[in-house]
Amino acid sequence: MNTEKNNPENLERKETVESVPYIVYESAQVRNERNIKRMLIALVLAVVMLFASNLVWIWYINQYDFANYEVSTDNGGDAYYNELIGDGQINYGESDGAKAN
């Protein structure tokens, strides 16, 4: 009867796992620690660069002078105008003189 305990494959795997020298395990651990340190540095650098990029865009957009102004005409109220209503709709207005007729 061949049980899990007496299975030759399990014994071979156990022997190969135990036959790995400790120095090999330590070198793999050190290599993994170096890789983790490099990835952590890359992550911190990426976060800093994203933050710096956002600051640069904020500075760039603040260079423009956004001004609100009104336009007035002196044609006696006969000016045609278009009024922008929400959702991008346009109200094509009439002049005050055309409304009176």
Which tens digits make up the pLDDT trace of 75-100?
665 656 656 666 666 666 665 555 55
Gap between the Cα atoms of 14 and 40, Å rounded: 35
Question: What integer pLDDT is reported at residue 62 of this predicted model?
Answer: 87
Q: Among all chains, which residue has been given the structure tokens 């650098």?
A: 45
36: confidence class by pLDDT, cuts 50, 70, 90: very high
Pairing of strands 89-92, 82-85: antiparallel
Summarize the confidence of residues 34-52 as an average pLDDT.
98
DSSP single-letter state for residue 6: T
| Choice between 50 and 84, residue whose per-residue pLDDT is larger | 50
